[in-house]
């Protein structure tokens, strides 16, 4: 399919468990998605540490949690929760890489996605579900997204310009410590796990052109050589 035939991602025909429409422009709805993402990441971190039996890092974990919770905004505004999420994510990335190594990002991301799946009421084995969530997350940063395919058996979402790259640089300029060289280092395993936890195969391609950094994600029911829930290549 040629790029000029790709239509902008429309608003989904259903909402998530917390009422968030994945393409929702309402600031209150977007703030709820920021809060939910923060909860999933923080709960996933606790789950990850418990499963790795990393008791020696407990004090450092509690310090990270204290920093996260002490800085939670009292107001319900979208901008405040966006800043709170990004700061918390940066703290958790620094903790995981610093104490467990860069290779542990995949396990933490998978743990976060397990929390997402546990609290999400949307059905499994529906290719639209995880990619609509991804489209909603991309929209929080005003990324440029397009649907290439939009079906329940197979869906393909293109992020032509991922604006998280822009926001990271703004945060870095404000003095926020950014541990990862690229947001893809966390986002790729997290999105893969988000798709596979829904019982689907996942595939992705990272892109970079005049539009900036981007990616193309595929979720499908069939075993077509993509990543499956056990982390292996299906059909390979």
pLDDT tens-digit map of 7-31: 333 344 443 333 233 455 788 889 9
Residue 195: name the closest of 161, 159, 143, 157 by CA: 157
Both structure tokens of 208: 């970079």
Burial (0-12, 13-18, 19+ Cβ within 10 Å), 70:
exposed
Residue 137: name the closest of 154, 108, 118, 112 by CA: 112
The DSSP code sequence of 57-74 is: GHHHHHHHHHHHHHT--S
146-185 residue pLDDT tens = 999 999 999 999 999 999 999 888 888 888 888 998 999 9
Note whether 6 and 148 are within 8 A (CB): yes
Mean residue pLDDT across the chain = 84
- The sign of the CA dihedral 86, 88, 89, 93 is positive
Q: Residue 14 has what DSSP assignment?
A: S
| Percent share of the chain, pLDDT over 70 | 84
The DSSP bridge partners found for residue 207 are 214
55 or 184, higher pLDDT:
184
The SS3 assignment for 195 reads helix
30-54 residue pLDDT tens = 999 999 999 999 999 999 999 887 7
**For residue 204, pLDDT beyond 80:** yes
Structural domain spans, the chain:
26-119, 125-236
């Amino acid at each position: 399919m040629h790029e000029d035939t790709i239509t902008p991602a429309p608003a989904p025909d259903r909402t998530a468990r917390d009422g968030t429409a994945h393409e929702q422009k309402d600031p209150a709805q977007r703030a709820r998605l920021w809060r939910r993402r923060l909860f999933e990441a923080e709960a996933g971190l606790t789950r990850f540490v418990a499963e790795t039996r990393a008791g020696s890092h407990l004090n450092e974990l509690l310090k990270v949690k204290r920093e996260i919770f002490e800085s939670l905004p009292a107001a319900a505004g979208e901008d405040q929760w966006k800043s709170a999420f990004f700061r918390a994510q940066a703290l958790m990335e620094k903790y995981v890489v610093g104490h467990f190594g860069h290779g542990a990002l995949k396990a933490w991301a998978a743990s976060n996605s397990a929390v997402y799946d546990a609290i999400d009421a949307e059905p499994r084995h529906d290719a639209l579900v995880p990619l609509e969530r991804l489209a909603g997350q991309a929209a929080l940063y005003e990324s440029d997204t397009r649907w290439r395919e939009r079906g329940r058996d197979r869906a393909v979402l293109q992020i032509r310009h991922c604006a998280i790259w822009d926001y990271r640089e703004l945060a870095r300029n404000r003095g926020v410590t950014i541990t990862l060289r690229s947001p893809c280092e966390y986002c790729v395993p997290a999105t893969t796990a988000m798709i596979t936890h829904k019982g689907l195969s996942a595939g992705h391609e990272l892109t970079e052109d005049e539009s900036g950094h981007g990616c193309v994600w595929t979720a499908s029911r069939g075993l077509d050589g993509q990543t499956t829930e056990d982390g292996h290549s299906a059909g390979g």
